[in-house]
Amino acid sequence: MKHIPVCLGLALSPVPAGAHHPGERVDEVMAAQEPAFEATDLRRTPHLRGTDADGGAFRLDALQDRIIVVSFAPEVCGAPCESQQVLLREVQTGVNVTPMREMVTFLTVGPAAEGWDSTNWHPISIEGGILEAADDFAALSERDTDAPMIHVIDRGGRPAAIFHGADFSHVNLILYINELTNTPPPEPGRFERIFGAFQ
């Protein structure tokens, strides 16, 4: 049993782009094995601006060189969000035993919580309220659900996927993040270059 974390770390380490992995089919493969997964192949991410734990200004678009895992945990959400945060901490633990640690940032929009590795996790306070920001991101989903959502944003700021609720396998989210680390960020289109200048 003591060798499992090492083996898991080796299995989940980013691999060369030419190695065998789902590649462009990652959304299709993940959708087949994880009911909580929803691909969101869109170009623009809702704005997310607020304050970090140190009181500094935070802007989501300042992290476009990283894969970002965003969750919303307003206090009114209660047990569903608490369960999701516990699962996300397991995901962070799995990510952080690999080189992915340097490529992935976890953001919780809500109060700071215990148990996170602060090297790549940040609690964010939102001006105007958490619920409004959560609704902006929830609009990316085509599902009719009240379950809390985890939004995975690819490098370059593209919303790549949503993991719904807290009943999914944390390993599936780790594998999905790993696949994104092997994929070059998409080249911005003409509209992204134009509108990006005005953000």
Lowest pLDDT segment from 11-15, 42-46, 82-86, 115-119: 11-15
pTM summary value: 0.82
Scanning 97-159, the segments in alpha helix (DSSP H) are 130-138
Listed as own residue / partner, the contacts of 80-85 with beta carbons closer than 8 Å and 24 or more positions apart are: 80/147, 80/148, 80/165, 80/166, 81/110, 81/148, 83/166, 84/148, 84/150, 84/165, 84/166, 85/113
For residue 1, pLDDT over 90 is answered with no
List, in sequence order, every residue forming a beta bridge with 19; answer none if it has no partner: none
Lowest pLDDT segment from 19-23, 71-75, 157-161, 187-191: 19-23
pLDDT tens for each residue of 152-166 = 999 888 899 999 999
Taken in order of first residue, the domains within the chain and their CATH numbers are 4-12+25-196 (3.40.30.10)
Q: Using the 8-state DSSP alphabet, how is residue 187 labeled?
A: P
pLDDT tens for each residue of 6-32 = 344 434 444 333 333 456 789 999 999
Percent residues over pLDDT 90 in the chain: 56
Lowest pLDDT segment from 74-83, 112-121, 130-139, 184-193: 184-193
